[in-house]
Amino acid sequence: EKAARGEGRIGQAPDPTGNARKAAFEVRPVVMVDHHASEVATVVEVSCADRPGLLAALSRVFNDEGLNIRSAHVASYGERAVDSFYVVDGKGRKVTSEQRIAELRTALEAVLDSRAPAPAGRKVASARASARDVSDLGRRSPRVKPVSPAGEAR
């Protein structure tokens, strides 16, 4: 309507970093802990915005809480990571204490809070998954016919 009246700037696209776009892609973190879903382990499901280092940060929380991961199921759907962990305590038993579950939930939510600072003093070093150079695997060199010497009859 403003463009029809000659107002505003014609031909300029709206700012893609505006709040409406950000809100459309906002992924709210959710932590669910259920000690009834499995016979042998407590099931912890985390759903949040995917980011590098997320699994390492979540694993660190389980370790700090004295829990062992028996099984992990990791998936991502676009920007969202949905990770399920089957965890047991140091004696191999499910976590059933409501106080301990609340502490675990609080620790996981602190990791998922995007405003939480990164661990101090930690450096990320680049590493290769293999010592073997695999940069040319899968490439096929084009077949080249040998050139016959000049003057040779075919």
Q: What is the DSSP string of 14-41?
A: P-TTSHHHHHHT----EEEEESSS-SSS
Q: What value, to the nearest 5°, has the Cα angle with vertex 68 and ends 65 and 72? A: 115
Q: Is the pLDDT of residue 146 over 90?
A: no
Give the number of other CB atoms < 10 A from CB of residue 94. 18
Give per-residue pLDDT as tens, 38-49.
999 999 999 999
Are the C-beta atoms of residues 82 and 45 closer than 8 Å to each other?
Answer: yes
68-77 vs 42-49, strand pairing mode: unpaired
For the domain spanning 22-112, the CATH number is 3.30.70.260
Give per-residue pLDDT as tens, 108-142.
999 998 544 444 544 433 333 334 444 444 444 44
Q: What is the pTM of this model?
A: 0.60
